[in-house]
Amino acid sequence: MGLEDYVKPGNHIFAERGVYDHHSIYVGKAKVTDPSSGKTRKLKYPVIHFGGNNSNIKGKASDAPCRKCFNKHGDPGVTLTCFHCFQKGNMFSTYRYDVSFITFNTTKNGTCTTASCDEPDVVIKRAYAFLHNQNFGDYSFFFNNCEHFATACKTGKARCNQAAMGFGVAGAIVCKTARRLRW
């Protein structure tokens, strides 16, 4: 069984990273350019994700660039990387959309939403647009994080899972505070 048995292009996936999870969009196909030779090649199992200068998300800036995707680990912003650089050997799951309120309220925060998502090709196009334009803004743990990025790609609107219930920014704080209490 390959990874393609578990994830489909356009899926929103998240990997456990200790105290919180890291979110990304699996885009299925990508090409990367080797900065040393300038040669372009296909990247297997590519994901697009968003992070700040946080070692939990990006790894150490001193880490050598990945030999598959050339990710430099310390780069903030929207990045295209191989699955390994995203997953870092941790468990990963698929984020669920269109769940019922009962499911939403009884499931761990940051794993599902009642919102509907768009078709995979739309989702992938949005992720690539954010990557190419680098216009998702500055990373903020509370207001503009990796989950906001992935949900924005999926639905066209950045959201924390609580924001789906109409709490907006206040909900984002409640969500993160609630998670922090369980750490």
Q: Residues in the site for Zn ion, rule: CB under 5 A?
A: 66, 68-69, 71, 81-82, 85
CB of 67 to Zn ion, least distance (A): 8
* Cα angle 6-10-15, degrees, rounded to a multiple of 5: 55
Pick between residue 81 and residue 161 the one whose CB is nearest to Zn ion: 81
Helical (H) or strand (E) element with 21 = strand 20-26
Which residue's Cβ has the minimum distance to Zn ion? 66
Pick between residue 65 and residue 120 the one whose CB is nearest to Zn ion: 65
CB of 33 to Zn ion, least distance (A): 14
CB of 168 to Zn ion, least distance (A): 35
Q: Write the CA distances from 153 to 5, 74, 130, integer angstroms.
A: 22, 23, 9
CB of 105 to Zn ion, least distance (A): 36
Q: How far apart, in whole angstroms, are the C-alpha atoms of residue 165 and residue 161?
A: 8
Pick between residue 43 and residue 163 the one whose CB is nearest to Zn ion: 43
Q: How far apart, in whole angstroms, are the C-alpha atoms of residue 41 and residue 69?
A: 10
Pick between residue 69 and residue 152 the one whose CB is nearest to Zn ion: 69
